[in-house]
Amino acid sequence: MDLSLNVNGRPEQFAAEPNELLVERLRDGLGLTGTKVGCDTGQCGTCVVQLDGRSVKSCLILTAAAAGSRVTTIEGVTTRGGELSGLQEALRQEHGTQCGFCTPGMVMALGELVENTADREAPTEPEIREWLTGNLCRCTGYHSVVRGVQRACSAARAEIPAEISGAAAVSAAAGSGSAGSASEPAPASVSASASASASGKEV
């Protein structure tokens, strides 16, 4: 079937099988390999892109169902080698990526959170964690990612990135426990995590 999409501001027209997944179109059809495939069941979140501004898992959407929509992939966030977005920069400062495989999906998912909350109070730590449950990361344990989002939200609210909000300050301090002086005890950051998540702890 003949379909069209607007991908990263560019109109794209192509013929696709009815059962083609959006992620296949993006990666194989359009060569946008920044979007990843990490599982086959919509669990890992490495394939997250934005569809008309909402983050979606592109392995769970048929290309045909997305036809006519505006798709933004990680390649559409910045130019190649270009300046990082506020969120990307905050994640860089917090080292919110290690192997990087989950990172494009996280940037696309978290980008929506940062955008959507720009006109209100910064999202709380439990809110950020809840938002992140659609993305799996094995390297970081999520901590640096959560700190990165806190930093990004603070930076968006105060012109000066160094003026970070209470929540971010606590987490930054927890981070410096390992990074800082060895003999000084690290300030504790004990926060109740959001309880039992949708991730399902039962096997």
Partner 1 sequence: MTAVTGEAPLQGSGVLGRPMDSREDPQLLRGEATYVGDVNLPGTAHMAILGSPVAHAKILSIETKAAEQMPGVLKVATAADFTDVMPLPCIWIPGGVESHFPPHPYGLPGARPVLTGDSVRHVGDPIAVVVAETPRQAAAALAAIAVEYEPLPVVTRADAALAEGAPQLHEAVPGNLNAYWTCGDKDRAEAALAEAEVKVELDLVNQRTINSPIEPRGAVGDYNAATDEYTLYASTQGPHNHRFLLAALVLGIPFNKLRVIAPTVGGSFGTKGYLYPDMALVLVLSKALGRPVKWVDTRTGLMNSTVQGRDHRQHVVLAGTRDGRMTGLWATSYANLGAYPSTIGPGVATALMGRSISGMYEIPAAFCEVYAAFTNTVPLGAQRGSGRAEAAFLMERLVDRFAAEIGMDPAAVRRKNLVPNEKFPYDNGLGWTYDSGDYQVNFDKALELSGYADMPARKAEARTRGKRLGVGIATYVAICGVGPSTRMSQEGMLGGTWESANIRVNPTGEVTVTVGSASTGQSHHTVFAQVAADELEIDPAQVQVYEGDTLRAPYGQGTYGSRSYSMAAPAVALTARKIKAKLVKAGAVFLGIPEEKAVYAAGKVYEEGNEENAKTFADLAMAMWYGWGLPHEIEPALDETTHFDPPDFNYPFGTHVAVVEVDELTGETEVVAYTAVDDAGHIGNPKIVLGQIEGSITHGLGQALMEAAVYDEQGRLLSSDLTKYALPRATDVPFFTLGKTTTPSPHNPLGAKGAGEIATVPPAAAVVNAVVDALSDLGVQHIDMPLTPEKVWRRLRGEAQ
Chain mean position to CA 137: 11
SS3 call for 25? helix
Binding-site string for partner 1 from residue 71 to residue 110, where x marks contact by CB under 8 A and - marks none? --xxx-xx-xxx-x---x--xxx-x-xxxxxxxx--x---
Number of residues that bind partner 1 (CB under 8 A): 83
d(CA 34, CA 31): 9
Considering only residues 25 to 64 of the shown chain, the ones binding partner 1 according to CB under 8 A are: 31, 33-41, 43-44, 46
Q: How far apart are the first and last CA of the chain?
A: 40
CB of 134 to partner 1, least distance (A): 9
CB of 33 to partner 1, least distance (A): 4
Binding-site string for partner 1 from residue 4 to residue 23, where x marks contact by CB under 8 A and - marks none? --------------------
CB of 144 to partner 1, least distance (A): 5
d(CA 38, CA 47): 8
Of 160 and 203, which has the nearer Cβ to partner 1?
203
Of 33 and 68, which has the nearer Cβ to partner 1?
33
| Angle, vertex CA 175, rays to CA 169 and CA 118, nearest 5 | 45
Q: What angle in degrees, to the nearest 10, is found between the helix axes of 125-132 and 103-116? A: 140
CB of 160 to partner 1, least distance (A): 18
Of 50 and 104, which has the nearer Cβ to partner 1?
104
Of the candidates 187, 168, 177, which has an alpha carbon nearest to the alpha carbon of residue 125? 168
Residue with tokens 């426990």: 177
Residue 148 in contact with residue 93, Cβ under 8 Å?
Answer: yes
Considering only residues 127 to 186 of the shown chain, the ones binding partner 1 according to CB under 8 A are: 128-130, 132-133, 135-146, 170-171, 174-175, 177-183, 185-186
